[in-house]
Amino acid sequence: MKEIGSGTSALVVGLGYRSGLAASNFLAGKGCRVLVSDLRSRDELADTIGRLDARVEVFAGNQEPSLLDRGVDLVVLSPGVPAVIPLVTEARRRGIPVIAEIELAFRFLRGSVVAITGTDGKSTTTSLVGHVLRSLGFKALVGGNIGIPLVSLVDESSDDTVSVIELSSFQLETIELFRPDVAAILNIGTDHLDRYASMDDYFRAKLRVAMNQSAGDSFVYNMDDPALSAGIGNIASRRLGFSMTNTDAEAFLEKDTVFIRDNGAVKGVLDPSRMKIIGVHNVQNAMAALLMVVSLLRKIGREPDYPLMAEACYSFEGLAHRMERVGVLEGRLFINDSKATTVGAVEMALKSLSGGVVLILGGRTKGDDYSRLHDPIAERVRFLVLIGESSREFAGIFADIPGETADGMDDALARAMRASAEGDTILLSPACASYDMYSNFEGRGEAF
C-alpha cells in the first residue's frame, strides 16, 4: 500500500459515532480526500455528520459498490460493518486495500503496543494494564474497542508511549501490518455466531492479533481454556500462559497468592483478596495483566517493580457495568454486570458470588447455545427474572427454574425485590446484547 496522506482518496465504510467518525476526521487532517458511506439516512446520521470535518463527503443510505468508481484507493472499514458486504468484496476484487481503523492508526502510532482480545474480560484487563503501567511512570494510552478510537490517540503518542489496545474480532478481521509488542487472548467462548459461520471462523479472527509477531514479541494466553491452548500452534512469538491451577504456567494461583515466573525465578506477587474487583475471572484478568506488563518491561530492558505493580492492582477500581457494586437496598446487594453479553461471562459472575442470587437475564441473542447456562443457574440462582427479546426462548430453556418474565427494567427490579430476601444479591448479568431495549450495554446498566 502506498503511503497514506495528501493525494490518497479514502472511503470510510460505516459512519459510527466513534471509529468511523474518528477515522474520517483523521484522514481529512492528513490531507486525504475522504468519502464516507453509511446505510443510514442523513437524518439518522445528523448528529455524527455535524461532528465531521467539513471536507468529508457523505453518502448516506448508500453502500453500493459503484462508490468505488469515484477514484477510491483505500477503504477503511468500521468494525460494525461485515467484511463480506458487496462494496468490500468489490474493493478487494479491484485490488483496493481494505483496512480497519486500528490498522490505520497503527501506521502512524509511535511507541510500544500492548494488544488484548478474547471473548470476556477485555475492557477490564485493558484498563488494568494501563493503570499498572501508569503506576510505573509510563505514559499509557488506552483505546480501541473499549470506546476510544485508537486513531484519536495517534497525536498523543511518542517514542516512550505505551498504547494499550482492546481489540474485538471485528477489528482484527482487517488488520495487515498491525504488530503488538505484547499480545493477549484472555479466553475463547461462543460469541458473535450471528456474524461468523462457525466458532473456528471466530477463533481465527481472534488469532490474528498475533499473526505479525516474531520471536522478540510476547503472547499471553489462558492455559485453562482448552480451545485456546490447543489452537495457538502457529504463533511465532514467546508464549506465556496464566492458570488458576497449573503451577507450570508463567502466572498461576497457589495458596491464595498469584505467582509470576520471571527470568527463572518464581515470585509471589499478588494477594487477590486485596483487589477491589471481584470474581474468579478478575483474578485471571490480573494474572494476564501482570504478565503483559512484565513482558513489556523485559523487552525494553527494565526491571519489574513487583510491589508497586501489586499496589496498582489493589487500587484499581474496575469499570462501570462489569461486576459493579451499585449499592445496597433493604439488605440486598445490587451488582451491575450489563457488559456480560456472553454465556461465559454470566457463568463467571455466578461463580464469583455467594449466598442467594436473583438474576436478571435476557436481551438480544447472539447465536450462542444458552442451554449451557441451565445448570449454573439452577445451582446458584434463587429466582430468575427474564427481560427482552429472548424472554420466550429463555422461558422454555429455564422452565424448571423459579422465575418470571418482566416488562422492562423497572418491572424486572420490582419482581427481583419481591423474590429476594435480605442478604441476597440482585445481579444484572444478561448474557445477551442490549439492542432490543437500549442503544448499548451502558444504557442498560444505567437503567439498572
Active site residues: 122, 145, 192
Residue 60 near residue 38, CB atoms below 8 Å: yes
Residues 6+ apart with CB under 8 A from 386: 361, 362, 394, 395, 398, 403, 404, 405, 406
Q: Which three cell numbers stand for residue 138?
A: 509510563
Identity at 175, one-letter amino acid code = I
C-alpha distance from residue 154 to each of 77, 80, 180, 344, 351 (Å) = 18, 22, 15, 34, 39
Distance CA 220, CA 241 (A): 6
Q: Which three cell numbers stand for residue 39?
A: 446505510
Angle at which helix 280-299 crosses helix 122-135, to 10 degrees, equals 50
**Local structure of 91: helix, strand or coil:** helix
User: If you count them, how many residues does the chain have?
Assistant: 448
Distance CA 444, CA 407 (A): 14
Q: Which three cell numbers stand for residue 263?
A: 527470568
Distance CA 192, CA 171 (A): 13
Per DSSP (E only), the strands in 234-302 are 238-243, 251-254, 257-262, 265-270
Residue 374 near residue 356, CB atoms below 8 Å: no
Distance CA 221, CA 401 (A): 36
